Amino acid sequence: MLPPCDPAILESNPQFKHLYEQLTKKFLNPDGSTRANDAQPARKALLEEMKYCRTRDAKNKIKKQTLRRLAFDPDSGLPDDVRERV
C-alpha cells in the first residue's frame, strides 16, 4: 500500500502528483494490489505459464535435494561411483 503523500509535495511537483494519482486511482487497489483484470485472455495465459514454471522449478528443487540427501547418506545403498557423480 502506498502511504498518503503530503499535499505540499504534490503541489510543488506536478509530475510526481500526476504519477501518484495514476498509481493510486488507476493501477492500484487501496490494499496495494494491482487492478489488473485476471479474466483477460492474455493475462490468464501468462498466469498459467507462470504457475507452470513455478511448479516445474519446485519439482526440480525437490529432486536436487533428494539426490543430495541420497549421495551423502551412507546408508542409502548407492555405489561409490554413482555417489561421486551426484
Q: Looking at the predicted structure, is the pLDDT value of residue 10 above 80? A: yes
- pLDDT on residue 11: 92
Report pLDDT digits (tens) over 11-53. 999 999 999 888 888 888 777 777 776 667 877 888 899 999 9
Q: How many CA atoms lie within 13 A of 29 on its CB side?
A: 6
- Residues 16, 53, single domain; the answer is no
- Please name every residue paired with 28 in a beta bridge, in sequence order, or none if there are none: 34
Instruction: Give the pLDDT band (50/70/90) at residue 72.
Output: confident
- Residues 44, 7, single domain; the answer is no
Range of the domain at 53: 39-85
**Residues 34 and 27: beta-carbon distance below 8 Å:** yes
Cα 60 from Cα 73, distance rounded (Å): 20
- Residues 26, 43, single domain; the answer is no
Backbone angles phi, psi at 30, to 5 degrees: -60, -25
- pLDDT on residue 56: 97
Report pLDDT digits (tens) over 59-69. 999 999 988 88
- Residues 28, 63, single domain; the answer is no
- Residues 34, 52, single domain; the answer is no
Q: Looking at the predicted structure, is the pLDDT value of residue 83 above 70? A: no
- pLDDT on residue 80: 74
